[in-house]
């Protein structure tokens, strides 16, 4: 349906020991990453983690301080952006305000001295697939946010890049449009099968679009893996907390084991969370953290680990979010229950933490291996 | 708001407008009167028998110092001084502003601040060395020398204008252009210039009025043949041969003011808009 | 890419070189000159503070300084007050606002020489304003400030304000238009009257504009040379001398380069003394915001 193929040669991207610093500030620290040909990779992380800088170094808009960067087989450390075989879609779209849509999309081809009729063919084909072919003589000012987004994508497509780079492309759109464009990105990748690198701070975008997610923090890669891998086997507390919504609950304490392999987690003020089956023996009698995803906590009188008073309830229709107080824990515990759950503020909830739903972290925040059925 | 207070506001505004316009009216009226009418009539009365003879005299035969050719030669002096000086300083300022915003390098902000000092110094403090320098390079008493001086001391302002304008252009635009394969000059000509219209208007008007209206550099560095019109006007008004011809003085003053008034009337709206946008931001 | 690395610096370098030489270099030369024996020609014999002593012994210099103080303070205060008043009034959804604004602003296009010439004619005691008012029946009216050594400096203020008040108005008006209209609505909901809103909410948020206007007007005042030259020529006698005229005459007409340089340095010091605290206060409060 798209009518335009991806780049003639497709290529992966390889980063080895990449460092980037501005004066004394180290923005990227020893980045090693191999992105496969045709893969959709999402960089995700909190603001200031270096994900956009990483993308811009791949684009060639920032020079790397040390390390090597390959696109395909070519070392591109010193290659200007336009010769790297990449195309980029910016958060603000960065459309040239004084040019109409045709010229916006054609500008790069014109500079590359592509013959006129060839340019016209390419631009019209891209515009057609993106449903903006009736707008080609308009200026960007006259377009809606979604249309501008399409022009920005069109400008990238006509370059037939080997790698697409997207810098938070959906963050300027309203919620509804964002969902629709998310779908279109997925479709675009399916059609073009070109390597795509996508930066976002929105973990839903990351989970839905990515073949693999790269989680960054403070200029370092925390973990790389498929969305499900990261969800099930986060490498550490940070990744566990970053992916999943609502956020994972963390309880800090000391684990005491009893004979049968069941453990109890003793919080700082002495409150004990009992019958935690499958607690790792290696953590017995040391400081550790228990992570619990809100959607995994069950309300179950028969296997309860603890009774918690409900502080408040948010009914969202499809589901109910319950906030309970665990005495001594600094934060309220979030529990997701079905939309029809009859819970009100002040109730005592018997909460059950099944062994398979527990994420254990050592004192340094490193995750212990989990077995997932 | 009550009707009365609105009426008061209008009254104040209109009075202020009349006060602002009065000198212009007096100048025009006086320039069209004969000397007898000036002596006998009222300052603000309309001329009874308007005559352009004082204008003719001011333009081509009034004495400014020892020369009695009117303002005409000096008008051309000012024109051939102002136009190149405005164009050169504006163009260089545009390139500087482009570098200082889109191609920042380590220390470029410090350099910009250092450049800004040029906007604030009283020019008296450079007058003496500049007079010697112009002499040394053989440009004293020449229009070229004045062009040079105006370009040098205009650059701080033009750079400031363009820098403040370009700083609000999103960085992504430059990056997109670089991904599209545009280099330093391509970005400047094809991306930046087409959207710089407003700031060019501001900068050109500012430089034009500054340079056309300059008196200090003109009186200090120009020879009798290269005097700009402001200097000539001042001389013309001070030169008294017998009767003081107020009508000729006023005609001369209006002639000296016409180019800037014209520019202001044609494009003043954009000028104020652009200038205040920058000035208010600080 | 390689070219893009050095091109920007190359482009900037002529301007930087010019600034370094013609601004910083020349300031240093002028300062150096002020410590020498220079009279008609530069003479690099060290003279210490002699030129400054000469300057401070000179009555004319003190007249100039005093005139600058009177002119500067009145010119800035009146231009600003008038400008702010007109801006606030113009901000009341006035019919013909654009037209009025253009009228207030046109003097800005004129050279101070033209302004001075015009006002010299209007204020001349024989045929100007004095005669006009007398012809209306106020036969005892006199207005001879232009030739009165004690009052002549005020005529410079009149002409200066006439030229610059409109400019202050434009800046203030732009500032007023930039005030967030929701703040004003919030204040209205709080029950504030329009005058109160202006006094307590809007004018205080115009701080940066006050800063800009003060800076620009102070700058015009200190550099004032052409206006005085055209209006009074520094006269009657030396009654309206300002430092700019003093500097020019000692340097170029009287062959006292050293004293001229010393007076130029004093002007620079005055600018620094006014600008630096102003800028410091402004950046500090801007950072605090």
Does C15 fall in a domain?
no
With a cut of 60, say whether residue B279 has pLDDT above it. Answer: no
pLDDT band at residue A177, thresholds of 50, 70 and 90?
Answer: confident
A278 and A180 both lie in a single domain: no
| Chain B with chain C: Cβ pairs closer than 8 A | 272
The β-bridge partners of B250 are: none
**Sequence-separated (6 or more) residues with CB below 8 Å from residue A339:** A315, A316, A317, A318, A319, A320
* Domain housing C158: 59-288
User: For the segment C247-274, what is each residue's pLDDT rounded down to a tens digit?
Assistant: 999 998 888 889 999 999 999 998 888 8
Q: Does A80 touch chain B (CB under 8 A)?
A: yes
Residue C46 in domain: no
State whether A211 and A256 are in the same domain.
Answer: no
**Confidence band for A220, pLDDT divided at 50, 70 and 90:** very high
- Rounded CA-CA distance B132/A3 in Å is 72
Structure tokens at A107: 């500008």
Q: What is the pLDDT of residue C185?
A: 82
3-state SS assignment for residue A324: strand
Number of domains making up chain C:
1
Three-state DSSP class for residue A65: coil
Residue A240, in any domain of the structure: no
Residue A145 counted as domain residue: yes
Question: What tokens were used for A192?
Answer: 């073009």
- C192 contacts: CB under 8 Å, gap ≥ 6: C200, C201
pLDDT computed for residue B267 by the predictor? 81
Q: Does C3 touch chain A (CB under 8 A)?
A: no
Name chain B contacts of C267, Cβ cutoff 8 Å: 122, 124-125
Parallel, antiparallel or unpaired: strands A25-35 and A195-200: unpaired
Best-predicted range by mean pLDDT (A58-67, B90-99, B100-109):
B90-99
Q: Contact B232/B255 with Cβ under 8 angstroms?
A: no
Q: What is the CA radius of gyration of chain B?
A: 23
Instruction: List, in order, residues 6 or more apart from B120 with CB less than 8 Å away.
Output: C219, C271, C275
Whether A226 is covered by a domain: the verdict is no
**Domain range list for chain B:** 3-51, 72-281
**In A, which residues are within 8 Å of B190 by CB distance?**
107
Within a domain: C187: yes
Query: Which residues of chain B lie closer than 8 angstroms to C15, CB-CB?
Result: 92, 96, 115, 155, 159
Least reliable range by pLDDT among A173-177, A234-238, B271-275 = B271-275
pLDDT in tens, C161-219: 999 999 899 889 888 888 887 888 888 888 788 888 888 888 888 888 888 888 889 88
Residue A104's contacts (CB-CB under 8 Å, 6 or more residues apart) are: A95, A96, A140, A151, A155
Residue B282 has pLDDT above 80, yes or no: no
Q: List the CATH number of the domain containing C119.
A: 1.10.3720.10
> Would you call B130 and C223 a contact, using CB atoms and an 8 Å cutoff?
no
Question: B280, C26: Cβ pair inside 8 Å?
Answer: no
- The number of folded domains in chain A is 2
In this structure, are A108 and A27 located in the same domain? yes
Q: Dump the DSSP string for A326-368.
A: -TT-SSPEEEEEETT----TT-EEEEE--GGGEEEEETTSBBP
Say which residues have a Cβ less than 8 Å from residue C110's Cβ, sequence separation at least 6: B213, B257, B260, B261, C163
Q: What CATH number has the domain bearing residue A116?
A: 3.40.50.300
Spatial distance between the Cα atoms of A120 and A83, rounded to a whole number of angstroms? 21
Residue B168's Cβ-count burial label (10 Å; 0-12, 13-18, 19+) is exposed
How far is it, in rounded angstroms, from Cα B119 to Cα B155?
A: 9
Q: CB distance B122–C264 less than 8 Å? A: yes
Cβ(C108)–Cβ(B269) below 8 Å: no
The verdict on A195 and A258 lying in the same domain is no
Residues of B in contact with A85 (CB under 8 A): none
The DSSP code for A318 is: S
Q: Which of A167, A201, A221 is the last residue of a domain?
A: A221
Output the pLDDT for position A24: 83
Residues C170, B272: contact at Cβ < 8 Å? yes
Question: Does some domain include residue C100?
Answer: yes
Instruction: Compare all CA atoms of chain B with the CA of A165 and give the residue at the minimum distance.
Output: B179
Q: Compute the count of residue pairs across chains A and B with CB atoms less than 8 Å apart.
A: 62
The beta-strand segments (E) located in chain A are 13-22, 25-35, 40-44, 66-71, 74-75, 86-89, 163-167, 195-200, 212-217, 220-225, 249-257, 263-267, 272-276, 287-292, 298-299, 306-315, 319-324, 333-338, 348-352, 358-362
Q: Phi then psi for C49, rounded to 5 degrees?
A: -90, 15
Three-state DSSP class for residue C38: coil
Contact between A211 and A41 under an 8 Å Cβ cutoff? The reply is yes
The reply to whether A6 falls in a domain is no
Q: How far is CA C215 from CA A157, B70, C76, C220, C271, in A?
A: 51, 38, 10, 9, 10
- What are A15's two structure tokens? 């980063």
Residue A282 is part of which domain span?
Answer: 249-362
Q: Is residue A334 part of a domain?
A: yes
**pLDDT tens across B40-62, in order?**
888 888 888 888 888 999 898 88
Rounded distance, CA A290 to CA A305, Å?
A: 13
Please tell me the distance from the alpha carbon of residue C75 to that of residue C159, in angstroms, as a whole number: 9
The tens digit of pLDDT for each residue in B4-36 reads 888 999 999 999 999 999 999 999 999 998 888
Q: Which of A219, A224, A220 is nearest to A235 (CA)?
A: A224
Q: CB-side exposure of B8: number of CA atoms within 13 Å? A: 6
Q: Which of B214, B232, B211 is nearest to B223 (CA)?
A: B232
Burial C199-213 (b: 16+ CB within 10 A, else e): eebbbeebbbbbbbb
> With contact defined as beta carbons under 8 Å apart, do C208 and B276 qualify?
no
Q: Could you tell me if A337 and A258 lie in one domain?
A: yes
- Interface contact flag, A87 B176, Cβ < 8 Å: no
Res A243 pLDDT > 70: yes
- Tell me the pLDDT tens digit for each residue of A98-138: 899 999 999 999 998 999 999 999 999 999 988 899 999 99
Q: Kindly state whether residues A337 and A281 are assigned to the same domain.
A: yes
Residues A80 and A210 grouped into a single domain: yes
Order of strands across the sheet that contains A319-324: A298-299, A348-352, A306-315, A319-324, A333-338
CA–CA distance, C69 with C221 (Å, rounded to integer): 9
Class of domain B72-281: mainly alpha
**Distance in Å, alpha carbon of B121 to nearest chain C alpha carbon:** 6
d(CA C155, CA B52): 30
CB A267 within 8 A of CB A252: yes
Is the previous residue joined to B51 through a cis bond, with omega within 30 degrees of 0? Answer: no
CB contact under 8 A, C111 and B38: no
- Domain-embedded: residue C23: no
Q: What is the DSSP string of A95-149?
A: --TTS-HHHHHHHHHHHTT--HHHHHHHHHHHHHHTT-GGGTTS-GGGS-HHHHH
Q: Are residues A47 and A181 in the same domain?
A: yes
Q: What is the mean pLDDT of residues C24-34?
A: 93
Residue A8 lies in a domain: no
| Chain CA centroid to CA A130, Å | 25
Report the distance separating Cα C139 and Cα C154, nearest Å.
23
Do A277 and A355 meet the contact criterion of CB atoms below 8 Å apart? yes
User: Whose structure tokens read 């001389």?
Assistant: B235
Average pLDDT of every residue of chain C = 87
**With an 8 Å Cβ cutoff, is C1 touching chain A?**
yes
Contacting partners of chain C (3+ CB pairs under 8 A): A, B
Task: Please tell me whether residues A38 and A110 are part of one structural domain.
Answer: yes
CA distance B107 to B213: 35
Q: Which residues of C touch A63 (CB under 8 A)?
A: none
Kindly provide the ipTM of the predicted complex, given to two decimals: 0.89
Q: How far is C5 from chain A (nearest CA, A)?
A: 11
Query: What is the C-alpha separation between C211 and A174, in angstroms, rounded?
Result: 40
Average confidence score pLDDT of chain A:
87
Q: How close B176 comes to chain A (CA, Å)? A: 6
Which burial class, exposed, middle or buried, applies to A229 when counting CB atoms under 10 A from its CB (0-12, 13-18, 19+)? middle
Q: What share of chain C is helix, strand, coil (3-state, %, to 5)?
A: 75, 0, 25
Domain-terminating residue out of A206, A221, A236: A221
Using CA atoms, how far apart are residues A185 and A188, in angstroms rounded to an integer?
5
For residue C98, name the pLDDT band (cuts at 50, 70, 90).
confident
C-alpha of C250 from chain center: 22
In contact, A164 and A125? CB cutoff 8 Å: no
Among A187-191, C44-48, C230-234, the minimum mean pLDDT is found in C44-48
- Name the residue with tokens 């501008």: A148
Q: Are residues A260 and A186 in the same domain?
A: no
Interface membership of C11 toward A (CB under 8 Å): no
- For residue B41, give both structure tokens: 């009539």
Q: What is the pLDDT of residues A50-103, one digit of tens each?
A: 999 999 999 998 889 999 999 988 999 988 888 898 999 998 889 999 899 999
Q: Are A97 and B211 in contact (CB under 8 A)?
A: no
Q: How far apart are CA B159 and CA B97, in angstroms?
A: 5
Q: Chain C, 237-276: which have a CB under 8 Å from a chain A CB?
A: none
Are residues A82 and B191, on separate chains, in Cβ contact within 8 Å? no
pLDDT surpassing 90 at residue A298: no
DSSP codes of every residue in chain B: --HHHHHHHHHHHHHHHHHHHHHHHHHHHHHHS-HHHHHHS-TTSPPSS---HHHHHHHHT--BTTB-S-SHHHHHHHHHHHHHHHHHHHHHHHHHHHHHHHS--TTHHHHHHHHHHHHHS-THHHHHHHHHHHHHTT-TTSHHHHHHHHHHHHHHHHHHHHHHHHTTS-HHHHHHHHHTT--HHHIIIIIIGGG-HHHHHHHHHHHHHHHHH--HHHHHH--TTT--HHHHHHHHHH--SSS--HHHHHHHHHHHHHHHHHHHHHHHHHHHHHHHHHHHH-
**Does B207 score more than 60 pLDDT?**
yes
């Amino acid at each position: 349906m798209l009518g335009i193929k991806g780049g003639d040669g497709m290529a992966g991207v390889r980063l080895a020991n990449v460092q980037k610093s501005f004066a004394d500030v180290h923005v990227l620290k020893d980045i090693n990453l191999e992105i496969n040909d045709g893969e959709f990779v999402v960089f995700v992380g909190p603001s200031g983690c270096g994900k956009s800088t990483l993308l811009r170094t791949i684009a060639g808009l920032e020079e790397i301080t040390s390390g090597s960067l390959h696109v395909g087989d070519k070392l591109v450390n010193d290659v200007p952006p336009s010769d790297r075989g990449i195309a980029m879609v910016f958060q603000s779209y960065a459309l040239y305000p004084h040019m109409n849509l045709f010229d916006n999309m054609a500008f790069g081809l014109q500079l590359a001295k592509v013959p006129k009729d060839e340019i016209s063919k390419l631009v019209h084909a891209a515009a057609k697939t993106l449903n903006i072919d009736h707008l080609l003589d308009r200026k960007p000012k006259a377009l809606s946010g979604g249309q501008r987004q399409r022009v920005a994508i069109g400008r990238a497509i006509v370059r037939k890049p080997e790698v697409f780079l997207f810098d938070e492309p959906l963050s300027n759109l309203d919620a509804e449009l964002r969902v629709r464009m998310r779908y279109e990105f997925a479709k675009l990748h399916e059609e073009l099968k070109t390597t795509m690198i996508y930066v976002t701070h929105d973990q839903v975008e990351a989970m839905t679009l990515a073949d693999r997610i790269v989680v960054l923090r403070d200029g370092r890669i925390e973990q790389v893996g498929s969305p499900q891998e990261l969800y099930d086997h986060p490498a550490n507390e940070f990744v566990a907390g970053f992916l999943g919504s609502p956020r994972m609950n963390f309880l800090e304490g000391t684990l005491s084991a009893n004979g049968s392999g069941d453990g109890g987690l003793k919080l700082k003020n002495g409150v004990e969370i009992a019958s935690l089956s499958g607690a790792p023996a290696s953590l017995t009698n040391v400081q550790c953290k228990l992570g619990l995803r809100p959607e995994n906590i069950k309300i179950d009188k028969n296997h309860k680990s603890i009774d918690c008073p409900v502080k408040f309830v948010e009914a969202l229709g499809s589901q109910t979010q319950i906030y309970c107080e665990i005495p001594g824990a600094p934060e309220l515990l979030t529990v997701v229950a079905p939309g029809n759950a009859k819970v009100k503020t002040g109730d005592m909830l018997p909460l059950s933490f099944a062994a398979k739903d527990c994420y254990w972290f050592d004192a340094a925040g490193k995750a212990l291996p989990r077995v997932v059925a | 708001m009550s009707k009365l207070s609105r009426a008061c506001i209008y009254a104040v505004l209109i009075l202020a407008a009349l006060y602002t316009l009065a000198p212009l009216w007096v100048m025009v009226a006086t320039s069209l009167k004969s000397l007898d009418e000036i002596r006998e009539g009222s300052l603000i009365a309309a001329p009874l028998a308007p005559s352009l003879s004082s204008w003719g005299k001011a333009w081509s035969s009034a004495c400014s110092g020892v020369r009695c050719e009117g303002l005409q030669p000096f008008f051309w002096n000012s024109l051939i001084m102002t136009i190149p000086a405005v164009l050169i300083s504006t163009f260089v300022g545009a390139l500087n502003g482009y570098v200082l915003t889109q191609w920042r390098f380590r220390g470029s902000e410090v350099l910009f601040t250092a450049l800004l000092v040029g906007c604030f110094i009283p020019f008296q403090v450079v007058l003496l060395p500049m007079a010697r320098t112009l002499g040394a390079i053989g440009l004293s008493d020449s229009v070229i020398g004045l062009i040079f001086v105006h370009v040098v001391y205009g650059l701080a302002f033009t750079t400031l204008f363009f820098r403040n304008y370009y700083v609000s252009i999103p960085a992504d635009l430059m990056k997109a252009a670089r991904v599209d394969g545009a280099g330093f000059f391509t970005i400047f000509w094809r991306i930046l210039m087409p959207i710089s219209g407003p700031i060019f208007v501001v900068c050109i008007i500012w430089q034009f009025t500054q340079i056309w209206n300059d008196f200090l550099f003109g009186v200090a560095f120009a020879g009798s043949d290269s005097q700009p019109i402001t200097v000539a006007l001042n001389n013309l008004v001070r030169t008294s041969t017998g009767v003081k011809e107020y009508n000729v003085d006023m005609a001369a003053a209006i002639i000296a003011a016409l180019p800037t008034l014209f520019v202001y009337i044609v494009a003043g709206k954009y000028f104020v808009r652009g200038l205040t946008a920058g000035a208010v931001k600080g | 890419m390689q070219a893009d690395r050095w091109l920007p610096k190359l482009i900037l370098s002529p301007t930087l070189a010019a600034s370094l030489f013609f601004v910083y270099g020349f300031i240093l030369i002028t300062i150096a000159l002020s410590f020498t024996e220079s009279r008609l020609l530069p003479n690099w014999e060290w003279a210490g503070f002699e030129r400054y002593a000469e300057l401070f012994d000179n009555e004319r210099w003190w007249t100039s300084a005093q005139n600058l103080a009177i002119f500067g303070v009145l010119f800035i205060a009146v231009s600003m007050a008038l400008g702010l008043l007109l801006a606030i009034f113009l901000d009341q959804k006035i019919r013909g606002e654009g037209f009025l604004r253009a009228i207030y602003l046109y003097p800005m296009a004129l050279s101070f020489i033209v302004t001075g010439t015009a006002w010299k004619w209007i204020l001349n005691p024989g045929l100007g304003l004095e005669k006009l008012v007398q012809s209306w029946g106020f036969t005892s009216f006199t207005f001879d400030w232009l030739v009165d050594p004690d009052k002549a400096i005020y005529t410079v203020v009149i002409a200066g304000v006439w030229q610059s008040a409109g400019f202050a108005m434009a800046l203030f008006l732009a500032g007023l238009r930039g005030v967030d209209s929701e703040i004003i609505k919030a204040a209205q909901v709080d029950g504030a009257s329009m005058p109160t809103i202006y006094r307590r909410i809007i004018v205080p948020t115009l701080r940066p504009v006050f800063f800009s206007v003060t800076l620009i007007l102070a700058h015009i005042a200190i550099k004032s040379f052409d206006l005085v030259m055209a209006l009074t020529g520094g006269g009657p006698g030396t009654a309206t001398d300002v430092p700019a005229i003093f500097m020019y005459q000692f340097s170029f007409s009287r062959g006292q380069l050293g004293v001229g340089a010393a007076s130029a340095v004093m002007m620079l010091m005055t600018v620094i003394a006014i600008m630096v605290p102003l800028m410091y206060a402004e950046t500090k409060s801007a950072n605090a915001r």
